[in-house]
Chain A
């Protein structure tokens, strides 16, 4: 079946601009996660949704970052007033049940964001 998809695959923007990154999870998956992967590092957690609500947003670095999941499926990560330090690969993952610690998270291919 279809996996997690993310669009765009690449995004180049200028410092100070606003960007939106989209994630389509696996159909039926209720849990959705955003991570950020800087060059040469492992992914770092940003935010977790269970259904429509953000159950844990403790990884968002500051108030320029915001994410929504209005209908419990597609999610959008929004970054305002982008900075060069925001350049990274943004990964989305989904899992099938209630976010149990035994669940497997399935990752999308990522969006590579470059802020000039």
Chain B
């Protein structure tokens, strides 16, 4: 079945460091891929998405490229801020049937000033 494997955390970086959170998936067909973020005390929010191969999703300085050949959707940011501290979830939306998202286990990111 469909699955998402996400880089284990927690991840701790200094402000202005480069960030990569790895995400790989297993799926049939051509799924959509998402990154959701959960800030402390808040609900899940969509950060970015890509709906077909080679698409790049971007938002708030974060980027992720849908790589079908490596079945990956790694999240990157060039210069992180303290306000980026949160839990990040990679998710997959199947290309057919009900849109039940399949989530990775989440990566907790802490940015120190």
Contact = CB atoms under 8 A, between A and B. Distances in A.
Interface in A49-69: 55-56, 58-59
Given A42-B105, A42-B106, A56 B49 contact: no
B51 to A, nearest CB: 5
Interface of B: 4, 6, 31-32, 34, 36, 42-46, 49, 51, 89, 91, 93-106
Contacts of A41: 105-106
Given A95-B99, A107-B45, 7 more contacts: A33-B101, A56-B97, A56-B98, A91-B44, A102-B32, A102-B51, A107-B44
B99 A103 contact: yes
B32 A101 contact: yes
A42 B91 contact: yes
Interface string A72-99: 0000000000000000000101010001
Dominant secondary structure at the A interface:
loop
Q: How large is the interface on A (under 10, 10 to 19, 20 to 34, 35 or more residues)?
A: 20 to 34
Given A42-B91, A102-B32, A107-B45, A33 B51 contact: no
